[in-house]
Amino acid sequence: MTAPTNSDVVVDKGKWEWSEMWKKEDWWAIWLGFAILAVGLMIFLPRPPAEMHEKLTRAENTLSAEAARATFQTIEWHLANDAKSGLRARNEPYAKSIGQWLQRPGRWSSNPLESLYLSEEAAAARRAAALPAYEEAQEKTKAALANAKTAQAMAEAAGFQSTALNDQAETAISEWRQAREKERGSLRSRATVQAYNKIPYLIGALVITMLIFSIGTRFMGISTAKFIQGFWFVFLLAVVAEIIGNQTTMREYGFGAIIWAILGGMLISNTVGTPAFLKAALQTEYFIKTGLVLLGAEILFGKMLAIGLPGIFVAWVVTPTVLILTYILGQKVIGLQSKTLNITVSADMSVCGVSAAIATAAACRAKKEELTIAIGMSMLFTAVMMIALPTFIVAVGMHPVLGGAWIGGTIDSTGAVVAAGAFLGETGMFVAATIKMIQNVMIGIIAFGVAVYWCARVDCVQGQTVSKMEIWYRFPKFVLGFISASIIFSAMLAYMGSVGDVMIDQGVLRGFSRPLRDWFFILAFASIGLSSNFREMAAHFKGGKPAILYVCGQSLNVALTLLMAYIMFFLVFPGVTESLMQ
C-alpha cells in the first residue's frame, strides 16, 4: 500500500496508519510490553511465598496494635514492618533463577573481570577480609537493640506519657535502626559474597532479548536474519558499557552505563564507521519504547497519595512552566534555529530526562542527532547534580523533606534521584523518589501537548486547518501503552493491597519486567551511539546554544522547584511534612 498524496494527507494519513499499524514500532512496543507483563503475572501470581497471607496478617495486626499502644514507632512495630517488607516474591527460588538469566555485569573496583567472574579463592579472600568488620557491626547492632529495649521499657513504665522518656526511646530505636542498616548493607554483602560466573547467563540474556525483539521485525519490514546477525554486536557493546559504568568510582560520580553505551557507539560510528551488518539491528525506538511501556507499569498512582497534593503541585506545576519558558527562551532569546531540538532539550531537562526526551522527539519528529544531543547533556548534568545538590543540601542543613522534593523535581534520571536522595536519609530518599515518579506521569501529557502544538502552530500550512487525525498520526503511540500499563498496575496494587506489594511490586515488576527494561534501555543507548554522527551534531552546537539553553533552563528549574517545594510542604500543607517525619 502506498502513502497518501499531499491533497488528501489530513484524512487519509490517519487511515493509512491504521492499515499499516503492523509495521509501526510503537504498536509492537505496546504489544511486546504487555506480553512481557502478562508473562510475568502468569509466572509470579500462582507462586506466592509460603504462608504469605498468615505472615501479612500477623505483621499488620502487630503494626496496628503498636501504633495504638505508643506515640512512637516501637521496636515491635519495626520488627513487624521488617517482616512485612521482607516478604518478596522475587526472593523465591524460581524468581532467583529468573533473575540470574536477566542479570547484568556486577560492580568492580580495580579488576574489570570481577564484573563477570569471581573464583572461589577470590570470594573466600573477600569474605575473610570483610568478616571482622561485619562481626563488629553485628555486635554494635545487638548493643543498640539492647539499649533501645531498655529505653523503650522505661517509656512504657511511664505509660508512654513522659515526653522526655519517649524522646529517649525514639532516639535509641533510631540508633538501632541505623546500626542495623549499616550491618545489613555493603558489609553483609562483602562478608557473604559467593563465587560466580555471569558469562553463561549473559549469553542467555543475549538470546532472550534477541528473541523478544525478533518478534515483529518481519512485519516492520526488517529482515529478521539481518537483525539477528547484527544484534549480538549491539548487545556486546551494551555489556562493555555496563562493565565500565559499574566501576565503583564511575558509579560514585554518576557516570553509569548509559553514557558509556552512547560514547562507545559514537566512537565506533565516527572512527571506523558503523559496519553495514549492524544497520538492521540498530532499532533504537523499538528497544526503548518497549522499555518505556514496562516503565509505565512501575509508575504507580498509589505512590502519589503518600506525598499528596504538595508533591503533585511540585511535579505538575513547575514541570510544564519550565518546559514552556525554556522553549520560549530558546526561540526568542538564545535564538536556537531548530525548534525540534529546542523542545526536546526543554522536555529532557524539565520532565524526567531520557524518557521524556524520547517521547517528545517522537511527537515533534526530531532528528536522531538532536535526541542524542539532548540525552548527552542530560547525562552530563545529571552526573554533576547528583553529587552537587545533596552535598549543598546537607551542608546548609536543609530539611530532608524540602531537600528530597528539590532533588526529585530537578535531577533527571530516576536512578540518580534515588542515589542523591539517599544522602538525606530514608525520608529524603522516599520524598525524592516519589516526586520523580509523580513527575514521570507527565511524559504522556507532554508528548500529547507537543503533538498538538506542532500540528497547530509549527508544521501547519497557512490557510489549512489541522485535522484531529493529523494529531493522532503524530502522537507517539507507545505513550498509550505507558499510560495504560500505569493505570492497570496501579489498579491491581490498590485492589490487592499488601499482597500486591509482595507479588506485583516485589515480584512481577522488580523481579521480571524491570531487569528486562534495564536491558532494553542499554541496548537502545548503544544503538543511539552507533547511529550518531559528530558532523551532523556539530551544526547544532554552533555558539554553544544548546548548552546555554540547558544551563539556563535547569537553573530556572532548580529555582522554581525549590520555591514551590517550600511553599507546598511548609506553608500550604505543613501537616503532610510532619506526617512524613514521623
pLDDT tens readout for residues 382-439: 777 877 898 899 889 899 999 999 998 898 766 678 767 877 876 787 788 778 878 8
For residues 56 and 357, the model is more confident at 56
pTM equals: 0.79
In angstroms, the CA 200 to CA 116 distance is 10
Residue type at 580?
A: L
- pLDDT at residue 8 greater than cutoff 60: no
Query: What does the pLDDT read at residue 184?
Result: 85
- pLDDT at residue 210 greater than cutoff 90: yes
Instruction: Choose the most confident range, by mean pLDDT, from 270-274, 300-304, 354-358.
Output: 270-274
C-alpha cell at 332: 526568542
Helices (H), 411-533: 414-421, 426-440, 442-453, 468-474, 478-496, 498-500, 514-531
Query: What does the pLDDT read at residue 3?
Result: 35
pLDDT average, residue stretch 434-461: 79
- At residue 161, φ and ψ (nearest 5 deg) are -100, -10
User: At which residue does the C-alpha cell 542515589 appear?
Assistant: 419
Candidate from 241-255, 280-294, 427-441 with smallest mean pLDDT: 427-441
pLDDT average, residue stretch 500-515: 94
- pLDDT at residue 138 greater than cutoff 90: yes
Candidate from 104-113, 231-240, 363-372, 521-530 with smallest mean pLDDT: 363-372
In angstroms, the CA 510 to CA 194 distance is 22
- Nearest 5°: CA angle at 216, between 211 and 219? 145
**Which of 516-526 are b and which e, b meaning 16 or more Cβ less than 10 Å from the residue's Cβ?**
bbbbbbbbbbb
Query: What does the pLDDT read at residue 10?
Result: 35
* Torsion sign, CA atoms 524, 247, 510, 209: positive
What confidence tens digit (pLDDT) does each residue in 508-536 have?
A: 999 999 999 999 989 988 888 888 777 76
What confidence tens digit (pLDDT) does each residue in 257-285 have?
A: 877 888 898 899 888 888 989 989 998 87
Mean pLDDT of the chain: 85
**DSSP code per residue over 183-226:** IIIIIHHHHT---EE-HHHHHHHHHHHHHHHHTTTTTTT--HHH
pLDDT average, residue stretch 98-119: 93
C-alpha cell at 189: 554483602
Query: What does the pLDDT read at residue 15?
Result: 44
For residues 320 and 420, the model is more confident at 320
Q: Are 430 and 436 in contact (CB under 8 A)?
A: no
**Of 257, 278, 217, 248, which Cα lies nearest the Cα of 108?**
248
- pLDDT at residue 464 greater than cutoff 60: no
Query: What does the pLDDT read at residue 373?
Result: 82
Query: What does the pLDDT read at residue 538?
Result: 66
- pLDDT at residue 371 greater than cutoff 80: yes
pLDDT average, residue stretch 29-38: 94
Give the list of residues 6+ apart from residue 101 with CB closer than 8 angstroms, or none: 201, 204, 205, 208
pLDDT confidence of 474, banded at 50, 70, 90? low
